[in-house]
Amino acid sequence: MFVETTTTPSLRVSAGARADGIRPRRALVSIEGFPFDVATSAGEDRAAKRIAQRALATHSFLDRVIGVTPRLSLRVLDREDWLRHADDDWYGTPHVSRDGDLVFGSEPADAWGDVSDYLARRLSARELARLVAVHGVDAKNRRGPSLDALAEALVAHEVARALVARQRIVFPSRWLEEAFASYVLVAVLGATDPSGLRLVGSLAEAARTLDDELPTLPEFERGFGPADAISKVLAELAIARSVYNAYARWDTAPLVDLFNGLRASTDPDADWEFGRMLGPRIHPSIAAIPDAFAVGRIGLAA
């Protein structure tokens, strides 16, 4: 969730992306004790177990709540192994590898530092102080929030995306796909990690004051490049706020209805109207998500 690309140079670029600059592959270490394969870089057992435990909690939640679970296998990689065993250039960016593994960094993605820098510059002193009180202060910029713990709490979001891929669900819009993954994240954290839910909620609330910098809905649907990382984060935080409201009022019922509705839908093109159609069946805040993008751009124009 939230971070996929960044203006910080990628690890492959930093290394020159030269084959002769990368040593031969070293074997990953298997972690036992989980009902799915977990492989990690040597010396990263603790991080791998934490991430695998979060993935297991999400797996169990999905089984219990919607009766469907994705097939899982994990890789948790240090910076050196990222060059050999990951399929994304940007270190720490969660993704599904070509052979189906969920890949995470043993450290948070570098882009979270960019997000912290941005928040330190753009939030009011009062909002920034509130956020730092929850997250702690970033060790590098010494002013913005430390987002390392938040980054690790987002494992559920990526497991939800894996479920969607395994079930071959076609979302009618990108915002609705993000709403589903965010709902799984919020509900899993609510059931298993209230402190993690507070991290997500506090960041989403703080970002509300920056809604005038949201992208338009068409911009969000088109996707983002490296220069647009902050816009992507702001958009996904706006979606997370809406999902949080639905969860607070209705618990997991809207998530179940959303998933079943998507599985039953035969019209993958009715993106905006599909969301509106769901309104009477789920919390209105989800159906109203597209409005947040319009409000953000109106604020920018004003």
- Say which CATH number the domain at 154 has: 1.10.390
Tell me, yes or no, whether 141 lies in a domain.
no
Q: What is the pLDDT of residue 278?
A: 57
Percent of the chain topping pLDDT 70: 81
Tell me, yes or no, whether 123 lies in a domain.
no
**C-alpha torsion 237→243→249→252, nearest 10:** -140
Residues 6+ apart with CB under 8 A from 165: 70, 96
Percent of the chain topping pLDDT 90: 58
Q: What is the pLDDT of residue 248?
A: 92
Tell me, yes or no, whether 100 lies in a domain.
yes
> Which of 7-11, 36-40, 162-166, 169-173 has the largest mean confidence?
36-40
Mean pLDDT of 115-128: 97
Counting the structural domains of the chain, the total is 1
Give the structural domain span for 38.
11-109+148-301
Query: How far lies 223's CA from each of 6, 18, 143, 158, in Å?
Result: 13, 29, 30, 17
Q: What is the pLDDT of residue 29?
A: 97
Best CA proximity match to 145, nearest among 135, 153, 160: 135
Tell me, yes or no, whether 48 lies in a domain.
yes
Tell me, yes or no, whether 160 lies in a domain.
yes
Exposed e or buried b per residue across 68-103, where buried means at least 16 C-beta atoms within 10 angstroms of its C-beta: ebbebbbbbbbbebbbebbebbbbbbbbbeeeebbb
Tokens encoding 197: 């839910």
Would the pLDDT of 226 be above 70? no
Tell me, yes or no, whether 120 lies in a domain.
no
Mean pLDDT of 38-67: 97
Q: How confident is the model at residue 33 (pLDDT cuts 50, 70, 90)?
A: very high
Mean pLDDT of 104-130: 96
Tell me, yes or no, whether 278 lies in a domain.
yes
Tell me, yes or no, whether 135 lies in a domain.
no
Q: How confident is the model at residue 49 (pLDDT cuts 50, 70, 90)?
A: very high
Cβ(209)–Cβ(124) under 8 Å? yes
Would the pLDDT of 151 be above 80? yes
From the number of C-beta atoms within 10 Å of its C-beta (0-12, 13-18, 19+), residue 24 rates as exposed
> Which of 18-22, 157-161, 171-175, 254-258 has the largest mean confidence?
157-161
Q: What is the pLDDT of residue 296?
A: 53
Helix (H) or strand (E) holding 132: helix 125-135
Would the pLDDT of 16 be above 50? no
Q: Provide the β-strand partners of residue 294.
A: none
Helix (H) or strand (E) holding 230: helix 229-250
Q: What is the pLDDT of residue 20?
A: 44
